[in-house]
Amino acid sequence: MTNAYHNLCTTFTRLSRFEHLSAIAGWDMQTMMPAKGNVARSEAMAELNVLQHQILTNPQVGEWLQQAESETLNEIEQANLREMRRHYHNAVLLPEALVEAKSLAGARCEHAWRQQRIANDWNGFAENLREVVKLSREEAAIRAQAAGTSRYDALLNLYEPGTNSASLDSIFGDLKQWLPELLQKVTAKQAGEACLVPQGPFDLEKQRQLGLQVMNLLGFDFDGGRVDISVHPFCGGVPQDVRITTRYNEQEFLSALMGIVHETGHARYEQNLPRAWLGQPISHARSTAIHESQSLLFEMQLARSKEFLPLILPLVVEQFGEQPAFEMQNFIALNQRVKTGFIRVDADEVSYPAHVILRYEIEKALINGEIEVDDIPALWNEKMQQYLGLNTEGNYQNGCMQDIHWTDGAFGYFPTYTLGAMYAAQLFHAARSKIPELDRNIANGDLSALFNWLQTTIWQHGSHYSTAELITQATGESLNPRFFRQHLEQRYL
């Protein structure tokens, strides 16, 4: 290994150890930390963020990156160097003071949001959000100037390198052409089909046990991770120690269960990233949309399929006892029910893209300076009525305050959910083509062929390839939204 490249590897290994601490401290902040610990924790994490920023933006790192260009590197090392360069250029643009201010404002906004959401307190939330938006716009302006793009595209590129709003507008524009009619057809079809709703209450400890059984079925490594409770479900931690969360409701168990399935998809990806490269940027997950493709492949393609649902029904009955809603066909119908609702994380896969497009259009206008924070509720309500036929006027809790993403300035994240759903459909179609007996295997409780295929095509590659290269190698073509439409029509019509 040559000198400059070796020095870079040492630096990035050091950074990864700080990222590890930051990830676990962040997980604790959202799950275990008592409320009065927030200010001290926020300050400690901001300090850690500044330290990581200092290490990464040290002029010496820039010099090593230049020197490494002329060193003899193999193909893996070159890919790693490319990712190092991307991380460095993303970081070096931002002044230290902005990194610290963003970290503190995000932590303050997120912590207050937990109670403000419950209280439906838009005014209190908006006050903190204005500061987050102001700092996010500052960041976006700096990045946009360097990249020669719009402010929103500059932030989008942090989550989904190589994607821009022009391509999203085209993909989502196409979706808006056919999705409303499909949604109408499916709901009309299902209106004539009886579907019994399970009768609660559902004991929380039994729900937890059910979640653990399903995680086990999905291959989660409990020696390398755990599941807890948080206000908003997430997957965090590091590949060696993956932390997932869900939230429980005594009256209804499927949201928590499918939340666990979704986060387990994220976790399996993290747990199977290339161990030989850990500590290096090349070992990271490829992009946010690829990450979402794994969680949505688990939740939508696999877990809501008529092949998989019979595997978990006996586990459901074991925990909650027999009842008419747990008859096999009813249980399948229940998990494939399409019904417009206020909450994105509880949405079915047909109406889900409407939730994403709504957020994408609002956050893009917000970051590009076309609207202000005070415009969000009215615009949210207008789009909610237009896309889903629902009124959120005055209902901030189930409207524009329901998500955690904007609280810490994660603008550019939302579109990756629907891109992820499209990648998931394309990947599952490719898996079926490659493994003709896949559906039969799943019905028999053998998920190994699917997981081995994902390991070979996606998980083991980390950030070795670009998103387009990764998907083309796995499926034979770059992103093709046709597979998503095809999947929805086949399952629901």
> Mind telling me the catalytic residues?
263
CA distance 151 to 411: 11
Tokens of 208: 């937890």
CA distance 332 to 323: 14
CA distance 92 to 85: 10
Nearest by Cα to 387 from 421, 416, 408, 418: 418
Under 8 Å between Cβ of 229 and 248: yes
Residue type, 256: A
Neighbour-count burial of 276, counting CB atoms closer than 10 A to its CB (0-12 exposed, 13-18 middle, 19+ buried): exposed
CA distance 142 to 147: 9
Phi-psi region of 169 (alpha: psi -120 to 50; beta: other; left: phi over 0): alpha
- Terminal Cα-to-Cα distance of the chain (whole angstroms): 57
CA distance 321 to 403: 34
